[in-house]
Structure 1
Amino acid sequence: MNASTVQDKHLEQLARKRASAKMGWYIHATVFIIVNLLLAGLSAMSERHWAMFPAFGWGIGLAVHGFVVFFVTGGACLHERLVQQERSRLQLQRDPW
Protein backbone atom coordinates (compact mmCIF):
# COMPACT_ATOMS: atom_id res chain seq x y z
CA MET A 1 0.00 0.00 0.00
CA ASN A 2 1.37 3.40 -0.87
CA ALA A 3 1.16 6.52 1.29
CA SER A 4 -1.59 8.05 -0.83
CA THR A 5 -3.83 5.00 -0.38
CA VAL A 6 -3.23 4.98 3.38
CA GLN A 7 -4.01 8.68 3.63
CA ASP A 8 -7.15 8.28 1.50
CA LYS A 9 -8.29 5.44 3.75
CA HIS A 10 -7.65 7.56 6.84
CA LEU A 11 -9.57 10.51 5.39
CA GLU A 12 -12.48 8.22 4.49
CA GLN A 13 -12.59 6.85 8.05
CA LEU A 14 -12.42 10.34 9.53
CA ALA A 15 -15.16 11.62 7.21
CA ARG A 16 -17.41 8.68 8.09
CA LYS A 17 -16.79 9.19 11.81
CA ARG A 18 -17.67 12.90 11.59
CA ALA A 19 -20.75 12.24 9.44
CA SER A 20 -21.94 9.62 11.93
CA ALA A 21 -21.48 12.05 14.82
CA LYS A 22 -23.52 14.72 13.02
CA MET A 23 -26.21 12.20 12.09
CA GLY A 24 -26.34 11.15 15.75
CA TRP A 25 -26.98 14.74 16.76
CA TYR A 26 -29.75 15.15 14.15
CA ILE A 27 -31.44 12.00 15.47
CA HIS A 28 -31.05 13.26 19.03
CA ALA A 29 -32.61 16.62 18.09
CA THR A 30 -35.52 14.92 16.29
CA VAL A 31 -36.29 12.68 19.27
CA PHE A 32 -35.99 15.72 21.57
CA ILE A 33 -38.59 17.64 19.54
CA ILE A 34 -41.04 14.73 19.26
CA VAL A 35 -40.86 13.72 22.91
CA ASN A 36 -41.07 17.27 24.18
CA LEU A 37 -44.08 18.03 21.97
CA LEU A 38 -45.81 14.99 23.48
CA LEU A 39 -44.84 16.08 26.99
CA ALA A 40 -46.07 19.61 26.29
CA GLY A 41 -49.41 18.16 25.16
CA LEU A 42 -49.71 16.12 28.34
CA SER A 43 -48.66 19.10 30.42
CA ALA A 44 -51.29 21.31 28.75
CA MET A 45 -53.99 18.86 29.87
CA SER A 46 -52.96 19.12 33.51
CA GLU A 47 -53.33 22.01 35.91
CA ARG A 48 -49.59 22.51 36.27
CA HIS A 49 -47.32 23.15 33.30
CA TRP A 50 -44.41 20.87 34.12
CA ALA A 51 -43.11 20.01 30.62
CA MET A 52 -40.62 22.87 30.59
CA PHE A 53 -38.49 21.18 33.26
CA PRO A 54 -37.55 18.03 31.32
CA ALA A 55 -37.27 20.11 28.13
CA PHE A 56 -34.83 22.48 29.83
CA GLY A 57 -32.66 19.69 31.27
CA TRP A 58 -32.64 17.68 28.08
CA GLY A 59 -32.07 20.86 26.08
CA ILE A 60 -28.83 21.46 27.98
CA GLY A 61 -27.73 17.92 27.09
CA LEU A 62 -28.67 18.47 23.45
CA ALA A 63 -26.74 21.75 23.37
CA VAL A 64 -23.62 20.11 24.83
CA HIS A 65 -23.94 17.26 22.34
CA GLY A 66 -24.21 19.77 19.48
CA PHE A 67 -21.25 21.78 20.75
CA VAL A 68 -19.06 18.70 20.85
CA VAL A 69 -20.17 17.48 17.42
CA PHE A 70 -20.00 20.77 15.55
CA PHE A 71 -17.27 22.74 17.32
CA VAL A 72 -14.92 20.18 18.83
CA THR A 73 -14.92 18.37 15.49
CA GLY A 74 -13.75 21.64 13.94
CA GLY A 75 -10.89 21.64 16.42
CA ALA A 76 -9.93 18.21 15.14
CA CYS A 77 -9.69 19.76 11.68
CA LEU A 78 -7.21 22.31 13.05
CA HIS A 79 -5.23 19.47 14.58
CA GLU A 80 -5.13 17.66 11.24
CA ARG A 81 -3.84 20.81 9.50
CA LEU A 82 -1.09 21.24 12.11
CA VAL A 83 -0.06 17.61 11.71
CA GLN A 84 0.06 18.04 7.94
CA GLN A 85 2.21 21.18 8.28
CA GLU A 86 4.66 19.33 10.52
CA ARG A 87 4.79 16.41 8.07
CA SER A 88 5.61 18.84 5.26
CA ARG A 89 8.37 20.48 7.30
CA LEU A 90 9.89 17.13 8.21
CA GLN A 91 9.82 15.97 4.58
CA LEU A 92 11.58 19.16 3.47
CA GLN A 93 14.31 18.64 6.08
CA ARG A 94 14.83 15.02 5.04
CA ASP A 95 14.88 15.73 1.30
CA PRO A 96 17.44 18.48 0.52
CA TRP A 97 16.26 18.81 -3.11
Structure 2
Amino acid sequence: MEKLPITKIDSKYERARKRVEDIKGFYYNLVTYCLVIPLLTFINYKTSWGFQWFWFPLGGWGIGLGLHAYQVFVHDGFLGRRWEERKLQEFMDQEENDQRWR
Protein backbone atom coordinates (compact mmCIF):
# COMPACT_ATOMS: atom_id res chain seq x y z
CA MET A 1 0.00 0.00 0.00
CA GLU A 2 1.31 3.42 -0.97
CA LYS A 3 2.00 5.80 1.87
CA LEU A 4 0.82 9.33 1.34
CA PRO A 5 2.87 12.28 2.54
CA ILE A 6 1.55 13.94 5.67
CA THR A 7 0.46 17.03 3.72
CA LYS A 8 -1.72 14.95 1.40
CA ILE A 9 -3.33 13.17 4.33
CA ASP A 10 -3.97 16.50 6.06
CA SER A 11 -5.37 17.95 2.86
CA LYS A 12 -7.73 15.01 2.34
CA TYR A 13 -8.83 15.19 5.95
CA GLU A 14 -9.53 18.93 5.69
CA ARG A 15 -11.55 18.46 2.48
CA ALA A 16 -13.57 15.64 4.05
CA ARG A 17 -14.12 17.70 7.20
CA LYS A 18 -15.31 20.67 5.13
CA ARG A 19 -17.69 18.42 3.19
CA VAL A 20 -19.17 17.02 6.42
CA GLU A 21 -19.62 20.58 7.76
CA ASP A 22 -21.41 21.60 4.54
CA ILE A 23 -23.80 18.63 4.73
CA LYS A 24 -24.42 19.22 8.42
CA GLY A 25 -25.18 22.89 7.74
CA PHE A 26 -27.71 21.92 5.09
CA TYR A 27 -29.50 19.50 7.43
CA TYR A 28 -29.64 22.13 10.18
CA ASN A 29 -31.17 24.51 7.66
CA LEU A 30 -33.70 21.87 6.56
CA VAL A 31 -34.77 20.97 10.11
CA THR A 32 -35.14 24.64 11.02
CA TYR A 33 -37.24 25.22 7.90
CA CYS A 34 -39.48 22.25 8.77
CA LEU A 35 -40.03 23.62 12.28
CA VAL A 36 -40.39 27.34 11.58
CA ILE A 37 -42.64 27.33 8.48
CA PRO A 38 -45.51 25.41 10.20
CA LEU A 39 -45.16 27.76 13.18
CA LEU A 40 -45.41 30.81 10.92
CA THR A 41 -48.39 29.27 9.14
CA PHE A 42 -50.11 28.69 12.47
CA ILE A 43 -49.40 32.25 13.61
CA ASN A 44 -50.76 33.59 10.33
CA TYR A 45 -53.87 31.40 10.64
CA LYS A 46 -54.57 32.56 14.20
CA THR A 47 -53.96 36.28 13.61
CA SER A 48 -54.91 37.34 10.09
CA TRP A 49 -55.82 34.53 7.72
CA GLY A 50 -57.32 37.06 5.30
CA PHE A 51 -53.80 37.96 4.14
CA GLN A 52 -51.72 34.82 3.92
CA TRP A 53 -48.24 36.26 4.40
CA PHE A 54 -46.68 32.92 5.39
CA TRP A 55 -46.20 32.18 1.66
CA PHE A 56 -43.42 34.77 1.46
CA PRO A 57 -41.05 33.15 3.97
CA LEU A 58 -42.11 29.69 2.77
CA GLY A 59 -41.20 30.54 -0.83
CA GLY A 60 -38.11 32.62 -0.14
CA TRP A 61 -36.60 30.26 2.36
CA GLY A 62 -37.62 27.31 0.19
CA ILE A 63 -35.72 28.74 -2.78
CA GLY A 64 -32.70 29.33 -0.55
CA LEU A 65 -32.96 25.80 0.79
CA GLY A 66 -33.11 24.42 -2.74
CA LEU A 67 -30.01 26.41 -3.74
CA HIS A 68 -28.24 25.22 -0.60
CA ALA A 69 -29.09 21.59 -1.45
CA TYR A 70 -27.86 22.10 -5.02
CA GLN A 71 -24.58 23.55 -3.78
CA VAL A 72 -23.99 20.78 -1.24
CA PHE A 73 -25.18 17.70 -3.12
CA VAL A 74 -25.10 18.42 -6.84
CA HIS A 75 -22.65 21.13 -7.73
CA ASP A 76 -19.36 22.08 -6.19
CA GLY A 77 -20.04 25.75 -6.74
CA PHE A 78 -18.87 27.92 -9.61
CA LEU A 79 -15.09 27.81 -9.56
CA GLY A 80 -15.36 25.39 -6.64
CA ARG A 81 -12.99 22.87 -5.11
CA ARG A 82 -12.90 20.45 -8.03
CA TRP A 83 -12.14 23.24 -10.49
CA GLU A 84 -9.45 24.51 -8.11
CA GLU A 85 -7.85 21.08 -7.85
CA ARG A 86 -7.89 20.61 -11.64
CA LYS A 87 -6.28 24.01 -12.17
CA LEU A 88 -3.63 23.38 -9.52
CA GLN A 89 -2.79 20.03 -11.13
CA GLU A 90 -2.71 21.65 -14.57
CA PHE A 91 -0.25 24.34 -13.40
CA MET A 92 1.94 21.80 -11.57
CA ASP A 93 2.03 19.58 -14.68
CA GLN A 94 2.83 22.57 -16.86
CA GLU A 95 5.67 23.65 -14.56
CA GLU A 96 7.05 20.10 -14.50
CA ASN A 97 6.99 19.95 -18.31
CA ASP A 98 8.68 23.34 -18.56
CA GLN A 99 11.47 22.23 -16.24
CA ARG A 100 12.03 19.05 -18.25
CA TRP A 101 12.80 21.04 -21.40
CA ARG A 102 15.32 23.38 -19.76
TM-score in same-fold range (> 0.5): yes
Q: Distance in 2 between matches of 1:69 and 1:18?
A: 8
Structure with bigger RCO (C-alpha 8 Å, 6+ apart): 1
More helix by share: 1
Query: Identity of paired residues, percent?
Result: 27
The corresponding residue for 2:53 is 50
Per-residue Cα deviation, 1:49-90 (whole angstroms, up to 9, x for no partner): 321122122223323433443421883213213322432443
The corresponding residue for 1:23 is 24
Residue 77 (1) aligns with residue 82 (2):
yes
Q: C-alpha root-mean-square deviation of aligned residues, in Å?
A: 2.8
DSSP-derived class of the 1:50 partner: coil
The corresponding residue for 1:34 is 35
What letter is aligned with 1:80?
Answer: E
The corresponding residue for 2:64 is 61
Unaligned runs of 5+ in 2: none
Unaligned runs of 5+ in 1: none
Q: Displacement, 1:22? A: 1.8
Q: Displacement, 1:92? A: 5.0
